Structures are given as structure tokens and as C-alpha cells.
Amino acid sequence: MPGGIFLYFYWDHQLISSANTQRRFYFEDSDFQGISEADITSSFYLANSSGVNDWTIPTTPRVVDNTNNWISFSNSNASNDRYWTFGSDNVNVQIDEIILPIELIFFQTSVSIGGILLDWATASETDNEFFVLQRSTDGIHFFDISIIDGAGNSYNTLFYSYLDEHIVSNTMYYYRLKQIDFSGNYSYSTIQSILFEYNTVYCSLLPQKTNLWNCKVRGNTQQNVVYSIIDANGALVETKTIDLRQYTDGVFSIDVTHVSVATVLFVVISVDNQNFQHKIYVE
């Protein structure tokens, strides 16, 4: 479609035995931030995938209700079982500059001691009231599991973490981060998936202070731990072998203060033939 497609979400339509000509899809104001109500009313409709060429079938006639936030149409094209999403054929739709409430550096998941560890970091926050961590077992239906206070306004790198202990072994989980500002507006992170399998060894990596991280290894192991630090280009920065018997509760520190520039590093921790990978941000 010449004007582009909003690929935030789509619906899979299943045929029923009776007529399938009516469709009404609802949206929220935050779904199309920066686009005026006039442009939504004049330019938006529902787009249909043909099954061969994606999102190429516009649906007209249609009605846009900006008060109740829905788009509906009555058209014979509705009588198929393809996919649907919001679309526009107007290449001149004006999108105003949006000041994002947070600048998210990363959001990641890892198997940790007794659960799944969720880590994220922000480079800046503007009127950020709080985060809501959400979990799903199908990647579609999400439920709130915790609320974490935001910093309000910050221009420093901030790290957050949460351990999800209410999980079942050998299950695939999906997580996303919902950010809500003081005005009630919100946005979502990308979805992270992770398979929680029962292991005898767990490894977690948590920030202690700037550029210093604590690694905790717990489980039925007396073997040495090897950690490797890799930069964003895949080059090895450092590798070191740790004798866990010399550390209380299996906790040792990883110091990256020698890295002279702000960057993202990957830490791979190997123990008992298992590799645990973490992403860290160096200031």
C-alpha cells in the first residue's frame, strides 16, 4: 500500500457459517501518537492481506469514529479468512514529533536462581511514573506480575531488575515491559521469550555499582566458572577462570572499569557445560 501500514498488530479472521460482512476494530489514543484526528478520520481504513501479497487490499467504504476510537466497514471483502490491520494510502499523513518518555537501552530475560530474571536499563526518562512487567504463556494474552517505580525525570543510565519466581519448569514464557507516564500514557517494549527448564545450576548477573557487576552461581557444582566478555563486534575483550571455592555463596565480581568508552558488552558465563549470556551497558 503506497501510504504504508501500521504493523503494530493484526487480527486473524475465521469464517463463520453466516455472513461475514461487518467489521469494527477498536484502537487506543496511544496506538497512533503524533497523528491528528483529522488525518485518522480522512486517511485510515482497515487493510486486508490477500494471502499472496501482504496488506494490499484496502477496505472501503469505512467509517472512522475518533470519539469512541474505532474503524468499521461493510464490504464483501470481509468474507474471507485472511489477516487484518490498520492502514492508510495517504503518503502525506503528518506525524508530529513525539517525545518518548524513556530511552530504553535494553530489556532482557535470563534463567536465574529460582526463576527468570528480567533486566532493563534506561538512558533517560521523562515524566516516567512506573513500569509494569507483564507475562504470557502464549505470547498473546499478557498479565501484570509486578509494578516498578520509575525515576520520573533522569538523564543518567539507570538499571532495573526483577526476579519472577512464580513460574513452572519446562514452560515457554513471554515478557514485555509497559511504561506509564504521569499523564497516564503508556508504551510497550518488544516481547522477550524464554524457556524455563529445570537446571541444577543457575547464574545471575546484577549491577553492583557503575561498571561493576556481581555474578552469582548457585547449584550442584564445584567446577570452575569461565566468563568471557565480548564487544558488539564479536571481538573478545577478556576471559577469566574463577574458582568458586574461593568465593562466599558463589558470588564473584566482574569489573569492566577498564573499558574506556560507553558501549554494550555481552558476558558469557560457562559452568557445567552450560552457557549463560547477559548483556551489560558500560558507562
Kindly state whether residue 6 falls inside one of the protein's structural domains: no
What integer pLDDT is reported at residue 120 of this predicted model? 93
Kindly state whether residue 1 falls inside one of the protein's structural domains: no
Whole-prediction pTM: 0.51
Residues 105 and 187 in one domain: yes
What integer pLDDT is reported at residue 28 of this predicted model? 67
Residues 108 and 188 in one domain: yes
Kindly state whether residue 50 falls inside one of the protein's structural domains: yes
C-alpha cell at 209: 555499582
Kindly state whether residue 93 falls inside one of the protein's structural domains: no
Residues 84 and 21 in one domain: yes
Q: Dihedral of the CA atoms 156, 254, 277, 160 (nearest 10)?
A: -30
Q: In this structure, is the dihedral angle defined by the CA atoms of residues 92, 96, 97 and 101, taken in order, positive or negative?
A: negative
| Structural domain ending residue among the three candidates 36, 68, 88 | 88
Residues 220 and 233 in one domain: yes
Residues 208 and 184 in one domain: no
Q: Rounded CA gap, 34 and 62, in Å?
A: 22
Helix, strand, coil share (%) of the chain residues, nearest 5: 5, 55, 35
Instruction: Look up the CATH number of the domain holding residue 107.
Output: 2.60.40.10
Q: Cell 558507562 belongs to which residue?
A: 283
Residues 193 and 210 in one domain: no
Residues 59 and 124 in one domain: no
What integer pLDDT is reported at residue 48 of this predicted model? 62
What integer pLDDT is reported at residue 244 of this predicted model? 81
Residues 184 and 210 in one domain: no
What integer pLDDT is reported at residue 2 of this predicted model? 35
Residues 189 and 240 in one domain: no
| Structural domain ending residue among the three candidates 88, 113, 137 | 88
Residues 184 and 255 in one domain: no
Please give the helix or strand (H or E) that residue 40 lies within, else none: helix 37-43
Which residues have C-beta within 8 Å of that of residue 18, sequence separation ≥ 6?
A: none
Output the tens digit of pLDDT for each of the chain's 283 residues: 334 434 445 555 555 555 555 667 776 665 665 566 666 666 666 666 655 555 555 555 567 776 777 777 655 455 455 566 666 655 455 555 455 688 899 999 988 767 889 999 999 999 999 999 999 998 889 999 999 999 999 999 999 999 998 887 788 999 999 999 998 888 888 899 998 876 657 778 888 877 888 888 876 555 688 899 988 888 888 999 988 878 877 788 998 888 877 788 888 888 877 788 888 888 7
Kindly state whether residue 269 falls inside one of the protein's structural domains: yes
Kindly state whether residue 4 falls inside one of the protein's structural domains: no
| Structural domain ending residue among the three candidates 88, 116, 145 | 88
Phi, psi of 37 (to 5 degrees): -65, -35
Q: Do residues 37 and 117 touch, judged by C-beta distance below 8 A?
A: no
What integer pLDDT is reported at residue 192 of this predicted model? 92
- What Cα–Cα distance (Å) separates residue 114 from each residue in 83, 197, 204? 40, 11, 10
Q: Domain of residue 62: give its range.
A: 11-88
Number of domains in the chain: 3
Q: Rounded CA gap, 142 and 128, in Å?
A: 22
Kindly state whether residue 5 falls inside one of the protein's structural domains: no
Q: Do residues 280 and 237 touch, judged by C-beta distance below 8 A?
A: no
Instruction: Look up the CATH number of the domain holding residue 230.
Output: 2.60.40.1930
- Which residues face 181 on adjacent strands? 128
Kindly state whether residue 3 falls inside one of the protein's structural domains: no
Residue type, 74: S
